[in-house]
Amino acid sequence: MAERCKTSDRGSLGRLAYGLVGALAAWGQFPGASVGQEAEKPPMQEVVLAKGALRLSLPAAWKKTPPKSQIIDSEFALPPAEGDAEGGRLTIMAAGGGIEGNLARWISQFRNPAGGDLPELPAEQPAAAAGESPKEPAAGKRTWKRKAGALDAHLIDLRGTYADRPQGPFGPAVDRDGFRMLGLILPTPQHGMWFVKLYGPQKTINAAAAAFEGIADSVQYQP
């Protein structure tokens, strides 16, 4: 179980330079992440896992809530984006099974509302026409790898109709149209595999995509 979760205001410590979108693509950002050339770093909260060996940082605005399932170590609720009827849900848990098997399981929870298999998402957000906002794909999948501190992380981006099981893997499934999931798998040498999953209506998750990327950047592992 997660030992503690603390909030620290780092907004006064300086500004975080995000750089250009193309530069971020080198380490594999989620398409649709809102990136400015420079942005004020928001207050953060630290999540301490694996008896202190694994630490992650999340935005303080993501509210810690009681886990809906006993297999979840920590759970957070994200506020809905304007126009969305519900917000996002982020869960953190340790689990077994192979990496590829878990990625395949997540993919199987999404289907293409247009029919057929989920198409592959591009690694970079296509450029929008002048005066227009980039159009987000309604359905698709993408997996890739990157470093998260000293760990070799695996990431996934899924969009479409989601077979949600809010009561746990053995609970009833509820179809959620227009949903998006961002996932981060952290295999550790001595403390098993940790799974960070964020899902919700696409607009809400699109708004949180850049902050989810920041979780991988924040990873600290000291066995």
- With respect to residue 97, please indicate whether it lies within any of the assigned structural domains: yes
What total of structural domains would you count in the chain? 1
pLDDT digits (tens, 9 = 90+) for 144-160: 999 999 999 999 999 99
Q: Please identify which residue in the block is written with the tokens 């026409």.
A: 129
Residue 98 within a domain? yes
Could you tell me the pLDDT band of residue 133, with boundaries at 50, 70 and 90? Answer: low
Backbone angles phi, psi at 13, to 5 degrees: -85, -5
In a domain, 93, yes or no: yes
Interatomic CA distance for residues 180 and 142, integer angstroms:
12
Is there a domain that residue 52 lies in? no
User: Which of 202, 187, 196 has its CA nearest to residue 149?
Assistant: 187
Least trusted range by pLDDT, from 40-49, 94-103, 127-136, 164-173:
127-136
The answer to whether residue 111 sits within a structural domain is yes
* Residue 103, H or E segment: helix 99-108
Work out the average pLDDT over 7-18: 38
Kindly report the CATH number assigned to the domain that includes residue 74: 3.40.1000
Read off the tokens for 172.
């009833």
Question: Domain span at residue 174?
Answer: 61-120+137-221
